[in-house]
Structure 1
C-alpha cells in the first residue's frame, strides 16, 4: 500500500514508518526536520512540509491510498496542532482523492468503558482530564472534524504510552475504550494503526487499544 505518514518524527510516527516499511508498504513521511527521522529505505520518501497548510500537503498525498496522522500536542504550547492540522489534512485529501484516514488520539477523549475500576473512573481519569485539558480539547476537536468528514476514517485511542518493544499482543475495542487498560507501547500503538488500514469493521469508528 502507498501511505503518507504525518508526525513521522514522533514516538508513534517513527514506529509507524519503520513497521510500514518492514511490511512492504511504500511510505511518504511528512516532517518539519528530516534530520529527526533516522530511517533510510528505498521505499521511503521524506517530504518537508507545513502540516497546517492544505496546499503544502497535497503533493505528499498524490497517488496515496491512505493517510496516517500521528500528530498531537506534545507540550501545552502545542495545543491546537492536532485539530488545525486535521483541517488541512481533510482539505488536502478532498482534492487528492484519498479516502482512508487513520489518526491517533487518546483514551481520555473517549467514553468511560464498562467494567472500569472505581479508582480510575472517579479519581485518575478526571484528574488527568483536568491537568491536560488543553491537549485533550485539541484531540476532541480533531475527532469532531474527522467525524464530520466524508473520509473513511479510524481514530485509534491508546492510554499512557511507553517505549517498550513491539509485541503485537494487546486488547482492542471497536467503538469504545479498553477497560482496565492503562498502558501500551508506542510500537504496539503503531502496529494497531497499521492493522486497521484494511479492516472494514474499523471504518468510521474509534478503536481503543491497550494491554
Structure 2
C-alpha cells in the first residue's frame, strides 16, 4: 500500500511513518523540512513542499492508496486549508480513504450533547482557535464523499505505546484524561486499513 502523509515530522506523524514503514508500506511524505524526519528507508519518499499548495499536494499524492494527516494547528489556518486541498485532490485522483489526527475538543459533550466538548463546560481551554480549526476539518470531511476517520486524542504527553487504552465513537471515553503520543500514533496507523470507525470521530484515552 502507498500512504501519503502530511504532518510527518511532528510528534505523532513521525511515529505513524515508522509504523507504516515497519508494516512494509510505501510512504510518501510532504514536508517543509526533510531533515526533521529521522526515518531512513528505501520505501520512504520525501517531497519538500507546502501542505497549503495545491500543486505540491497533487504531485506528492500521485498513486497513493490512502491519505493521512497528522498536521497540528500553528495559530494559522494551515490545517483546514491543507485538508480542503487534499479532499479535492483525492476526489480527482480516485483516492477514498483518509485518516486524520484531531482533538478531543471536537467530540460531543456528554453534559451538553448538542455541543462539542470545546464549546461546553467540559473544556478547560482558554483559547478555542485550535479546536475551531479541527472543527472546520471535521465539517469538511463530513460533507465530503470520502471514507474518513478522525482520531481524537485528549491531553497528549510524549511517551511510548502502552497498548492498553479505551476508544469510543464520537465521545471521549468517560474519565479519560490523557493518551500518549505512542498509543495515539499506533491507533491512528491501524485505522488506515480498518473500517471500524468509517466516517466518524473516535475518542481515545487511558
TM over 0.5: yes
Q: How does 1:66-77 map to 2 (within 5 A)?
A: 66-74=66-74
Does the aligned pair in 2 maintain the 1:113–1:178 contact within 8 Å? no
Q: Kindly indicate which of the two structures has a greater share of residues assigned to helix.
A: 1
Aligned to 2:114: none
Q: How many residues of Structure 1 are paired with residues of Structure 2 in the alignment?
A: 201
Gaps of 5+ in 2: 112-116
User: Under a length normalisation based on structure 2, what TM-score does the superposition of the two structures give?
Assistant: 0.91
C-alpha displacement of 1:54? 2.2
Aligned to 1:192: 187
Query: How far apart in 1 are the matches of 2:81 and 2:151?
Result: 18
Are 1:105 and 2:105 an aligned pair? no
Q: How does 1:17-96 map to 2 (within 5 A)?
A: 17-74=17-74, 78-96=75-93
Query: How far apart in 1 are the matches of 2:44 and 2:73?
Result: 25
Query: How far apart in 2 are the matches of 1:23 and 1:160?
Result: 27
Deviations along 1:27-58, one digit per CA (max 9) or x if unpaired, are: 11110000111110111111112111222211
Does the aligned pair in 1 maintain the 2:68–2:98 contact within 8 Å? yes
Are 1:178 and 2:153 an aligned pair? no
C-alpha displacement of 1:149? 0.7
- The CA RMSD over aligned residues, in Å, is 2.0
Residues 1:113 and 1:124: Cα distance change in structure 2 (over 3 Å): closer
Query: How far apart in 1 are the matches of 2:122 and 2:39?
Result: 36
Partner-residue secondary structure (3-state), 2:8: coil
Query: How far apart in 1 are the matches of 2:123 and 2:196?
Result: 30
Deviations along 1:49-83, one digit per CA (max 9) or x if unpaired, are: 21112222112111111000001214xxx331211
Does the aligned pair in 2 maintain the 1:54–1:91 contact within 8 Å? no
Query: How far apart in 2 are the matches of 1:167 and 1:113?
Result: 26
Partner-residue secondary structure (3-state), 1:179: coil
Partner-residue secondary structure (3-state), 2:202: strand
Query: How far apart in 1 are the matches of 2:76 and 2:196?
Result: 31
Q: How does 1:132-171 map to 2 (within 5 A)?
A: 132-171=127-166
Gaps of 5+ in 1: 115-119
Aligned to 1:203: 198
User: Under a length normalisation based on structure 1, what TM-score does the superposition of the two structures give?
Assistant: 0.89
